Chain A
Amino acid sequence: MTDNSSNAPTAMERFIQGILPENPTYRQLLGLCPTLAVTNGLKAALTMAAATGFVLLCANVMTSLIRGLLKPHLRIVVFTLTIATFVTIADRFLAAYLYDMSKTLGPYIPLIIVNCIIICRCEVCASKQSVWVSASDAVGQSLGFALGLSSIAIVREILGTGMIFQFRILPVQWPDWVIMVLPPGAFFTFGLLLAVVNRLTEPGKK
């Protein structure tokens, strides 16, 4: 087992790393498909982040529980099966209790199966470290993902409709920048915010 080595990150470190320094959206550039697709409203973005977080947590815990028990190519099979099962459960849950959100998010919930965040975290962390560390890694990464999604969603929704969650933020005279809630707006917002984050996290100089 490799989780007893002294330089493996601890649970707390994993948790903190996931939120900003190793943010899945802005630093690792993982899970870009939902980032662009569901961020035209804050409610949809948060629901997606919650669903991804649920699947990531369960998948991480499951993978960590059976780490070292399976040969490599069987590991991939079980791993895929795990993610697909939990995504199915999350999808059914949403369809039963949050039917409107389920219809808005549509095919993007099952696309969590191929969300690179989950696959990457399971490979990097869960298959090597204990259940507790993997769980906190999952929670940290999910929070980071939620942060990334909501930052884009807030910009798009305010500029595009002037409202958040039915609360009017900008005055009624604001001409809604409809392009913000359309596909091009997703690309522009994310690109500009990414440039801002790159600029802010530049090491010192300039």
Chain B
Amino acid sequence: MNYIIDITLIALSAAIINNFVFYYFVGICPFIGVSRKVDLAFGMGCAVTFVICIAAFISWTFTAYILMPGAPLSSWIAGFFTSPEQAAGIDLSILSYIVYIFAIASSVQFVEMYLRKAFPMLYKSFGVFLPLITTNCAILFACLTIMSKVAGAENPAEAWDLGRALTLAFFGGVGFTISIVIMSGIREELELCDVPKPFRGAAITLIIGGIMAMAFTGFTGVDAGLKKAMTQEKPVVQAVMKEKSMEKGSAL
């Protein structure tokens, strides 16, 4: 039950409350560049969601099993070369960014191949924008968030599992789709308006984006309230104390 509550809150937070575009400012380039027609925008949103999910899956797997400090696969392999203690402390996280960007590039290639087979018309209408999804900050941002929740978690039992990671990825993509579709709807109407010359193009889009961001700010704190309403705090049942193994005399 708690797991479902957790997943729901992550989903809501990624899609609406901490919307990727309006709160974290990732995915701005396609937000401004691709948002002229609604169907193209929706297609782009779906493609990005698809790519984020695949990339998140690959990143989580690599981070949890190979890259994070003390990861199972790497320490097992290192165990053949060095002592067990050294092998358990192996930290390949410096390779994280390289792994993530290659994961994203491969996901985009995969989606490109799939679209070419399954939806050729859509593939044609995308044109050059499809390979450009590789440079979409939103995807790398999702991978980085997953890394910080898996490898950077203070307590290992609070590290995110695959379900949470994929939820964040999928609903982050959904939030991106929502924002880009709304923006394209507004811009289609804007074609009929008399926008002053200096504002035409990117400037007016940014200002409209600002107004939308203000609207989305209204959602702040919804997840905190929901969390409080859904989890009832009961008194302490039992507690276990564990001394962390640090060297003697770990004074400053």
Per the CB under 8 Å rule, do A and B touch in the complex? yes
Report whether B204 and A88 are in contact in the complex, using a CB–CB cutoff of 8 Å. Answer: no
Which of chain A's residues 79-126 have a Cβ closer than 8 Å to chain B?
Answer: 80-81, 83-85, 87-88, 91-92, 107, 110-111, 113-114, 116, 119
Report whether B136 and A191 are in contact in the complex, using a CB–CB cutoff of 8 Å. Answer: no
Chain A residues whose C-beta falls within 8 Å of the C-beta of B206 in the assembled complex: 187-188, 190-191, 194
Q: A177 to B38, alpha carbons, bound, how many Å?
A: 34
Contacts known (A191-B204, A194-B206, A202-B197); A107 close to B29, Cβ less than 8 A: no
Report whether A29 and B32 are in contact in the complex, using a CB–CB cutoff of 8 Å. Answer: yes
Which of chain A's residues 35-87 have a Cβ closer than 8 Å to chain B?
Answer: 36-37, 80-81, 83-85, 87
Chain A residue at minimum C-beta to C-beta distance from B205: A191
Chain A residues whose C-beta falls within 8 Å of the C-beta of B95 in the assembled complex: 88
Report whether B211 and A184 are in contact in the complex, using a CB–CB cutoff of 8 Å. Answer: yes
Q: A77 to B129, alpha carbons, bound, how many Å?
A: 19
Contacts known (A111-B140, A183-B213); A33 close to B28, Cβ less than 8 A: yes
Partner of A183, one of B23, B27, B97, B202: B23
Chain B residues whose C-beta falls within 8 Å of the C-beta of A110 in the assembled complex: 97, 140, 144
Chain B residues whose C-beta falls within 8 Å of the C-beta of A8 in the assembled complex: none
Chain B residues whose C-beta falls within 8 Å of the C-beta of A196 in the assembled complex: 198
Chain A residues whose C-beta falls within 8 Å of the C-beta of B203 in the assembled complex: 191-192, 194-195, 198
Report whether B23 and A195 are in contact in the complex, using a CB–CB cutoff of 8 Å. Answer: no
Instruction: Say whether B135 faces chain A, with CB atoms less than 8 Å apart.
Output: yes
Chain A residue at minimum C-beta to C-beta distance from B24: A37
Cβ of B75 to closest chain A Cβ, rounded Å: 22
Contacts known (A111-B141, A185-B210); A29 close to B25, Cβ less than 8 A: no
Chain B residues whose C-beta falls within 8 Å of the C-beta of A186 in the assembled complex: 25, 210, 213
Report whether B97 and A191 are in contact in the complex, using a CB–CB cutoff of 8 Å. Answer: no
Q: A191 to B213, alpha carbons, bound, how many Å?
A: 13
Report whether A88 and B198 are in contact in the complex, using a CB–CB cutoff of 8 Å. Answer: no
Report whether A192 and B207 are in contact in the complex, using a CB–CB cutoff of 8 Å. Answer: yes
Compute the total of residue contacts between A and B using a CB distance below 8 Å.
111
Instruction: Say whether A16 faces chain B, with CB atoms less than 8 Å apart.
Output: no
Cβ of B161 to closest chain A Cβ, rounded Å: 21
Q: Does more than half of chain B's interface fall in helix, strand or loop, or is it mixed?
A: helix
Question: In this complex, which of B27, B98, B148 has the most chain A Cβ atoms within 10 angstroms of its Cβ?
Answer: B98
Instruction: Say whether B26 faces chain A, with CB atoms less than 8 Å apart.
Output: yes
Cβ of A178 to closest chain B Cβ, rounded Å: 11
Partner of B29, one of A32, A83, A187: A32
Chain A residues whose C-beta falls within 8 Å of the C-beta of B29 in the assembled complex: 30, 32-33, 116
Total A residues in contact with B, Cβ cutoff 8 Å:
40
Partner of B198, one of A36, A185, A199: A199
Cβ of A51 to closest chain B Cβ, rounded Å: 13
Size bin of chain B's contact surface = 35 or more
Q: A119 to B94, alpha carbons, bound, how many Å?
A: 22
Cβ of B94 to closest chain A Cβ, rounded Å: 6
Contact with A along B84-106 (1 / 0, CB 8 A): 00000000001111100110010
Q: A85 to B140, alpha carbons, bound, how many Å?
A: 15
Chain B residue at minimum C-beta to C-beta distance from A114: B135
Chain B residues whose C-beta falls within 8 Å of the C-beta of A29 in the assembled complex: 32, 202
Partner of A80, one of B32, B96, B102, B145: B102
Instruction: Say whether A12 faces chain B, with CB atoms less than 8 Å apart.
Output: no
Contact with A along B168-199 (1 / 0, CB 8 A): 00000000000000000000000000001111
Instruction: Say whether B217 faces chain A, with CB atoms less than 8 Å apart.
Output: yes
Instruction: Say whether B134 faces chain A, with CB atoms less than 8 Å apart.
Output: yes
Instruction: Say whether A179 faces chain B, with CB atoms less than 8 Å apart.
Output: yes
Chain B residues whose C-beta falls within 8 Å of the C-beta of A107 in the assembled complex: 141, 144-145, 148
Report whether A33 and B101 are in contact in the complex, using a CB–CB cutoff of 8 Å. Answer: no
Instruction: Say whether B45 faces chain A, with CB atoms less than 8 Å apart.
Output: no
Residues on A lying within 8 angstroms of B by beta carbon are: 29-30, 32-33, 36-37, 80-81, 83-85, 87-88, 91-92, 107, 110-111, 113-114, 116, 119, 179, 182-188, 190-192, 194-196, 198-199, 202, 206
Besides A33-B27, A84-B101, 10 new A-B residue pairs in contact (Cβ under 8 A), listed by A number: A33-B25, A36-B28, A37-B26, A107-B145, A113-B140, A116-B29, A116-B135, A183-B217, A187-B206, A188-B206
